[in-house]
Amino acid sequence: MKYICTFSFAFFLQVLVSAQVITTTSISPPASLRCNEVPVKLNNVVFGAIPPNSQNGPVVVFIHGWFDNGYTWFMSKNKWYQECYNSGYKTAFFFHSFSDAFEDNGKVIAEMIRATCRHYNTNKVIAVCHSKGGFDIEYALYNENVWDSVQGVVTLSTPFWGAPLADLISNPQIRSTLEAIPIVGPVFQGKGTYQMQTAYMAGVVRPMMDNHPNNRPEKFHCFAAWGKSHRTVFPPNISDDILKVVFKDYQSLCVDIPGFGNTAGDLISGGMSTSGDISNFVQVQPQYNNPYNNQAYMDGLAPYYSSIRPGSIVISEPPPSQQSNLNHVDVLLSSNTWDIVHPEIEYFKNNPVFKSAPSIVFPSDMSASQTSSKMQMIQSKSFSIQTARQNKLILVGDYKNQLLKVLDERDVIVKEIPLNFYTKSFLDVFHEVDLSGLLPNKTYKIQSLFPLTAFLQDGNTSSIQLATRNDKTYYSDEPLGFELTVKDWSEDMNTASVSGILSRNINEKGEVIHGDIIPVSFIFDDVKQAFICKDKILLGEGVYNLSVSAEGKNLNRFATTSIYLKQERKSSERKGLIDVYPNPSSGLLSLKFNAISGNRYSVEFYDVQGKKMSSGFLGVNLSGYQQIDISDLVKQIPKGTAVVALIENGERKGAKVIVLN
């Protein structure tokens, strides 16, 4: 069996700990440093030895990203510390939380910057940040009063506009699968994971950061990468200290293992390629897909143009340049990027005046395009595949001592596939199953004794494209208007059906929540030649995951996206007469509205997450101004904040938030 399993050099797993007290550790010069001398300890700053030629040298701080414990800057002959020491740079390596919110990480990083300045008796540092560390430091700069202490920031594959994979992780089914895994579950529960959704980064974070009065975008020099399928290259013989990236308490022998580098490189490459393939079928909406609206070029986690901060200095060459043909882990390796980062450190050291950011020009063949999905999502114990085309099956999560059975059209077992996937790191979440050896042009059934969570790419060119119309204003009394377009559908469209779910995962306060799963329906529109969601639903403000499935006789396609949604009410005389009194209420409540004779009226109560708590019929023969006592319905709902909605002929025509004492 072919499987994707890797020691995640860029990512690390351990129990989440909130940072309160910053500790420090000083280490030996690189020539005498033993790998076990560098502790894997959260909320700790590791200070490098002071080089003999450091009189005019800067202080460089290294800030890690998502799923990372900070040791990746040192592991397996990664020579950031050695290169900095030889160049006369003082160094500090920050070990902070990997999946906390950027607000929390930003506060910790600010304290670490202050501790570093005190240690080296300086008032300036230069930051080198990987992945999520790039926007963690943004918060520290703008909100924690360390702006003047940071001379410049070099970012490596920071998804400033979000990571499509975070949109997928926010799907309720995938989310529950990942959060249930003992080792990685706490990381996926972290607020920082859900903040990386494209809708949240583009709709909330970027406006907040880019419009901040202290914003100096030219202080950021950004390296972006696009090589999701690039082969990671390590020296053939690397140390077993690589295991410290996965197991924080591992005591390395600090000896080189012959050939281990080749094996590790292949495993990393396969993992990044798989995560990149999965990311590519996420339907990032045009408004959230960075200013260049292109996610086809990505490094396995971050699209190339998502890694460019607005107004920043770009230090990478756009695709198809081989300089940026690296995956998300490759950019962490000094062997790939030291020669790129080093000149930027020298620039910040020697130039108090920043460069002006030129306009970004990219090749004409990288025109804006929205992706479409050719994948189907599987959540069952049995499904069929056809071998007329090549199939790729990717399982999600842990599968220990399990067995897949492959049956032919006569229900005869033709192959058994043992599964023993154990998740230790981020890239162990996805596992490709070997389906080779099956006869061509046949139909097979895959069976298991347990429910599978998986994605199947069946080779059929049929695809779906999801549009949320997020450039419009959403009104609570109008259809949502989500659109699903089907491409190259090889079956009769009349046999296709489309259904979906909405689930809020970040509320209006920016809190991560487990929102209710709200079904949404789609109807085929002959004029638009698309499936349209005409549901009228009262929704709380926040970031939602929208996942949709299109099913035919033998075809199935799945698409997912994130959307920042805030409903408003249209201004009109009639709608303005909808009101409730008194508010707050201690048990008595009246509903006021203008009625149209012959229409059917009822009232519904919802909690703040959109869950219906109670309802009642008001009447049919109502006309003109109405004031109706609905106190009896109030007795059925708990105290707190609720929403009361007027229903006219089955449609929600108005709503008010009430407080019940």
State whether 68 and 156 are in the same domain. yes
Residue 316 predicted with pLDDT over 50 = yes
Give burial (CB, 10 Å; 0-12/13-18/19+) of 608. Answer: middle
Q: Which residue has the higher pLDDT, 126 or 389?
A: 126
Residue 189 predicted with pLDDT over 60 = yes
State whether 124 and 260 are in the same domain. yes
Question: pTM of the full predicted structure?
Answer: 0.81
Whether 226 is covered by a domain: the verdict is yes
Residue 7 predicted with pLDDT over 80 = no
Q: Give pLDDT, residue 323.
A: 97
201's CB contacts (< 8 A; 6+ apart) are 135, 159, 160, 161, 162, 195, 288
Q: Give pLDDT, residue 23.
A: 95
Q: Which range, 34-48, 604-618, 621-635, 643-657, is most confident?
A: 34-48
Which CATH number goes with the domain that contains 646? 2.60.40.1930
Q: Give pLDDT, residue 613.
A: 83
Residue 533 predicted with pLDDT over 90 = yes
Q: What are the start-end ranges of the E strands in 66-114?
A: 90-95
State whether 500 and 559 are in the same domain. yes
What single-letter DSSP state applies at residue 227? B
Q: Give pLDDT, residue 406.
A: 94
Whether 183 is covered by a domain: the verdict is no
State whether 315 and 399 are in the same domain. no
Q: Give pLDDT, residue 17.
A: 33
Whether 17 is covered by a domain: the verdict is no
Q: Which two tokens stand for residue 605?
A: 């109560």
Poorest-pLDDT segment among 232-241, 271-280, 381-390, 609-618: 609-618
Q: Give pLDDT, residue 40.
A: 87
Q: Give pLDDT, residue 4.
A: 32
- Note whether 16 and 187 are within 8 A (CB): yes
Whether 173 is covered by a domain: the verdict is no
DSSP string across 130-142: ETTHHHHHHHHHH
Poorest-pLDDT segment among 123-127, 353-357, 415-419: 353-357
Q: Taking the CB of residue 418, how many other CB atoms lie within 10 A of it?
A: 10
Q: Which residue has the higher pLDDT, 426 or 262?
A: 262
Mean pLDDT, rounded, for 608-630: 79
Q: In this prediction, what percent of the chain has a pLDDT beyond 90?
A: 47
- Note whether 347 and 341 are within 8 A (CB): no
Q: Which range, 209-218, 349-358, 589-598, 608-617, is most confident?
A: 209-218
Q: Give pLDDT, residue 368.
A: 52
Residue 138's alpha-carbon distances to 135, 161, 238, in angstroms, are 5, 13, 34
Mean pLDDT, rounded, for 427-447: 89
Q: Give pLDDT, residue 5.
A: 34
What confidence category does residue 651 fall into, taking pLDDT thresholds of 50, 70 and 90?
confident
- Note whether 240 and 257 are within 8 A (CB): yes
Mean pLDDT of the chain: 86
Residue 307 predicted with pLDDT over 90 = yes
State whether 387 and 315 are in the same domain. no
Q: Give pLDDT, residue 206.
A: 92
Which CATH number goes with the domain that contains 398? 2.60.40
Mean pLDDT, rounded, for 483-487: 91
Q: Give pLDDT, residue 610.
A: 63
Instruction: Give the end of a domain, one of 500, 533, 568.
Output: 568
DSSP string across 157-182: S--TT--HHHHHHTSHHHHHHHHTST
State whether 323 and 408 are in the same domain. no
Whether 363 is covered by a domain: the verdict is no
Mean pLDDT, rounded, for 557-561: 94
What confidence category does residue 655 fall into, taking pLDDT thresholds of 50, 70 and 90?
confident
Poorest-pLDDT segment among 87-96, 243-252, 267-276, 342-351: 243-252
Q: Which two tokens stand for residue 75?
A: 């592991």
What confidence category does residue 570 fall into, taking pLDDT thresholds of 50, 70 and 90?
low
State whether 212 and 348 are in the same domain. yes
Residue 128 predicted with pLDDT over 90 = yes
Mean pLDDT, rounded, for 486-494: 83
State whether 589 and 612 are in the same domain. yes
State whether 528 and 633 are in the same domain. no
Whether 375 is covered by a domain: the verdict is no
Residue 339 phi, psi (nearest 5): -65, -15
State whether 553 and 579 are in the same domain. no
Residue 391's alpha-carbon distances to 151, 282, 376, 386, in angstroms, are 51, 19, 11, 8
**402 vs 489: CA distance, rounded Å:** 35
Q: Give pLDDT, residue 141.
A: 94
Mean pLDDT, rounded, for 442-456: 91
Q: Which two tokens stand for residue 119?
A: 């240690």
Q: Give pLDDT, residue 571.
A: 45
Q: Give pLDDT, residue 1.
A: 34
546's CB contacts (< 8 A; 6+ apart) are 466, 468, 482, 500, 501, 502, 520, 560, 561, 562, 563
Q: Give pLDDT, residue 296.
A: 83
Q: Give pLDDT, residue 553.
A: 84
Poorest-pLDDT segment among 172-176, 288-292, 432-436: 288-292
Note the maximum CA span of the chain: 91
Q: Which residue has the higher pLDDT, 120 or 582?
A: 120
Residue 3 predicted with pLDDT over 50 = no
Which CATH number goes with the domain that contains 227? 3.40.50
181's CB contacts (< 8 A; 6+ apart) are 188, 397, 398, 423, 429
What confidence category does residue 241 fall into, taking pLDDT thresholds of 50, 70 and 90?
confident
Q: Give pLDDT, residue 238.
A: 87
Is residue 373 classed as helix, strand or coil in its secondary structure?
Answer: strand
Q: What is the domain range of residue 401?
A: 382-450
Instruction: Give the end of a domain, one of 299, 334, 352.
Output: 352
Poorest-pLDDT segment among 361-365, 522-526, 639-643: 361-365
541's CB contacts (< 8 A; 6+ apart) are 507, 508, 565, 566, 567
Only one residue has tokens 């059934």, namely 445
Residue 389 predicted with pLDDT over 80 = yes
State whether 137 and 270 are in the same domain. yes
Q: Give pLDDT, residue 574.
A: 44
Which CATH number goes with the domain that contains 479? 2.60.40.10
Q: Give pLDDT, residue 329.
A: 94
Mean pLDDT, rounded, for 419-447: 85
Q: Give pLDDT, residue 12.
A: 30
Q: Give pLDDT, residue 324.
A: 97
Residue 261 predicted with pLDDT over 70 = yes
Phi-psi region of 598 (alpha: psi -120 to 50; beta: other; left: phi over 0): left
Q: Give pLDDT, residue 644.
A: 85
Whether 13 is covered by a domain: the verdict is no
Q: Give pLDDT, residue 228.
A: 95
State whether 113 and 218 are in the same domain. yes
What confidence category does residue 117 fall into, taking pLDDT thresholds of 50, 70 and 90?
very high
The domain tally of the chain equals 4
Whether 417 is covered by a domain: the verdict is yes
